[in-house]
A and B are shown apart, each in its own frame.
Chain A
Amino acid sequence: MNCRSEVLEVSVEGRQVEEAMLAVLHTILLHRSTGKFHYKKEGTYSIGTVGTQDVDCDFIDFTFVRVSADELDRVIRKAVAEFKDALGNSGSDGMGQISLEFYQKKKSRWPFSDECIPWEVWSIKVNVVNLANEQERQICREKVGEKLGEKVINIVEVINRHDYLPKMPTQSEVDNVFDTSLKDVQPYLYKITYQITDSLGTSVSTTMRRLIKDTLAL
């Protein structure tokens, strides 16, 4: 099974980085989260209900929809804040990439650890621009809003191709497919990583970080 990879690019001003990333990541996670599974004795299961929330951006003329799950929102915000700090501290031209990877776990026999097999990777390339005056910022506010709208349409287009999705697991396998640690929703297993690009355009992997719910604990 091949992992499909989608790349999105955005150019934003420094203070717009967080909201732009949140908008894109939450839009993807909205489509890649289900309600909580409740398995019944016969092996069937029922699915909980996913609520949604509109989020207005402060620095961008844009509103996005996220799942109503505060725990998930906190995790995503933390990851985005780290990415933003890394971008700011890197001293580079403000280019970086944040990746949202959905994976499945494949249990291996001892002594081998579980394998993480990605099945979908979304990479968001960010280019931070510096603006000279308020007028440019106002224009940027709207332009970035329009661009994010286009990204949402791109995301929806990809999602609705109905390409590979992991099979719905049995109760014993559910933790290999879904992140069951959250109270309200159940996203597919995911991890967020980021890279900061130096001014030469080569990737500086020293800033790789993992922010995962399910690490490979031996």
Chain B
Amino acid sequence: MDSDLSPQDKKDLDKFIKFFALKTVQVIVQARLGEKINTCSSSSPTGSDWFNLAIKDIPEVTHEAKKALAGQLPGIGRSMCVEISLKTSEGDSMELETWCLEMNEKCDKDIKVSYTVYNRLSLLLKSLLAITRVTPAYKLSRKQGHDYVILYRIYFGDVQLTGLGEGFQTVRVGIVGTPIGTITLSCAYRTNLALMSSRYALHLPVCKCWAINCFELHNQYDFLTCVCCFDLTEVAKYVSLPNQMVVPGKEGGVPQVPAQPTHGTAAEHGRIPSCPTGQSPQPAPPTSYCSIEVKTVSPSDALETTFTRKVGAFVNKATTQVTTTSLDLPFAAFAPRAYDLQENDPMVHPPPSPAPSSPLQGSLHSNTSSHSGGLPQDDFVMVDFKPAFSKDDLLPMDLGTFYKEFQNPPQLASLSIDVSVQSMAEDLDSLPEKLAIYEKNIDEFDAFVDTLQ
């Protein structure tokens, strides 16, 4: 145990573990900032780069990590965990992964602290750099923006994995044996990405805070939120959304909100996150991606399920109905007055016959939002149907009237014979009678044929 370790080695080991824990947190949080990380190699050592790796220290992150550790070190029974979660603009949140730095009782007494342990900790940090780009949360974090942000929380003590949902997977980053125990670093990540609401005591934004006006803008495009039940990168490739809202991007259909107030924020992209949640929001980077109920569906599944109407992240379930005029769509005045979520949704239950007064009915979607009102049906003005090139004559039957009357002619009687009534057997039975009649009248038929020749 500790008696085998020299005081200097013990001191060194404690220092290594402390700085390893701090660097681990930095690597994880920086990997979830949503940006590519790039640090320079330096051949002349400055002496300040722990583990010979260029890992920047974001001061707020170090501060939070030290606060969580509260002067203690990760040890046996005292694990340090970094929890990464996703929070939507509506306030829903979901734990994505938990990185755990733990220690077990298996000791390696013979290992050299100042050399072998240090180098192996360096190797473990490199593995952490590689693995943080591989778990599912990485892709989500790269696409965060004004629809959702990625948050982190550091805690010390017992590992809590219940928030990851059923079927979470674990990946081990690596282990390093030391004389006082074996350090293990692992990640448990969620596989079921269905959104659920939960509250978190203290979650700190990894990326920039979003601007309030981005949410208002987003409400106008609630169709996206309905589709957001599924992985948008899948759906967007195959579904053409109204108003050309989906612009296939490099990663396959990242939807761009057309009138983006956030373009001006591109210059702020490099800023490090602000720590306290109380700060005023800063504009978000221009990418917008909404994948709340993200499931790994195949494109064909996504195509089918687009129309089965799950409630997306930004759709309020029990709200007043809205007309599509509030959504600023073209020809919105011709749109039907209101839609319920499912019952009158033309995309789920297409109308039996097209109604000429609402030409866009088939391509519109139903939404609910907090807005209400709009044009009622009474405001429609019936205009006389004037076919092109027809004259205004005084004939009782003009072209327009003729067209209207004969627009829906009745079906021919011969086509409406109910075939199922006459069975094959009945047909065959009646055949001899018919033949007898024809034979009786054979002379008439012959005479008729002669007239034709």
Contact = CB atoms under 8 A, between A and B. Distances in A.
A65 B43 contact: no
A157 interface: yes
A64 interface: yes
A51 to B, nearest CB: 4
B345 to A, nearest CB: 28
A156 B127 contact: yes
Given A160-B123, A160-B174, A160-B175, A50 B41 contact: yes
A146 to B, nearest CB: 9
A65 B130 contact: yes
Interface string B129-152: 111011000110010000000000
A53 B250 CA distance: 20
Contact of A50 (B36, B38, B53, B172): B53
B178 to A, nearest CB: 12
Contact of A47 (B52, B130, B133, B237): B52
A63 interface: yes
Contacts of A117: none
B133 A35 contact: no
Interface string A141-175: 10000000100110111011010000010000000
A155 to B, nearest CB: 8
B139 A156 contact: no
A67 B54 CA distance: 10
B38 A46 contact: no
Contacts of A61: 139, 251
A64 B130 CA distance: 7
A52 B124 CA distance: 14
B339 to A, nearest CB: 32
> Which of A30, A31, A46, A160 has the most chain B CB atoms inside 10 A of its CB?
A160
Nearest to B173: A156
Given A31-B127, A185-B41, A54 B36 contact: yes
A63 B130 CA distance: 9
Interface in B75-126: 115, 120, 123-124, 126
Nearest to A28: B130
Interface residues of A, number: 42
Chain A interface SS verdict (over half): mixed
Contacts of A185: 41
> Which of B43, B172, B176, B251 has the most chain A CB atoms inside 10 A of its CB?
B43
A63 B47 CA distance: 30
A52 B120 contact: no
Contacts of B52: 34-35, 47-50
A65 B37 CA distance: 9
A48 B37 contact: no
A184 B126 contact: no
Nearest to B300: A135
B39 interface: yes
A27 interface: yes
A51 B54 CA distance: 5
B45 interface: yes
Given A50-B54, A52-B54, A156-B174, A184 B43 contact: yes
B54 A47 contact: no
Contacts of B37: 52-54
Contact of B39 (A51, A58, A153, A156): A51
Contacts of A149: 134
A138 interface: yes
Contact of B45 (A35, A159, A183): A35
B43 A52 contact: no
A139 B299 contact: yes
A67 B298 CA distance: 35
Contacts of B130: 27, 30-31, 64-65, 152, 155-156
A49 B120 contact: no
Contact of B126 (A30, A56, A168): A30
Contact of B134 (A53, A69, A139, A153): A153
B425 to A, nearest CB: 50
Contacts of A35: 41-43, 45, 52
Interface string B21-58: 00000000000000011111111111101001110000
B126 A31 contact: yes
B252 interface: yes
A139 B129 contact: no
Contact of B43 (A30, A36, A135): A36
B45 A48 contact: yes
Contacts of A52: 37-39, 53-54, 126, 129
A11 interface: no
Nearest to B27: A52
A68 interface: yes
16 contacts: A38-B43, A38-B45, A48-B45, A49-B54, A51-B42, A52-B39, A52-B126, A53-B37, A63-B36, A67-B41, A68-B38, A68-B40, A68-B54, A135-B299, A156-B131, A160-B127
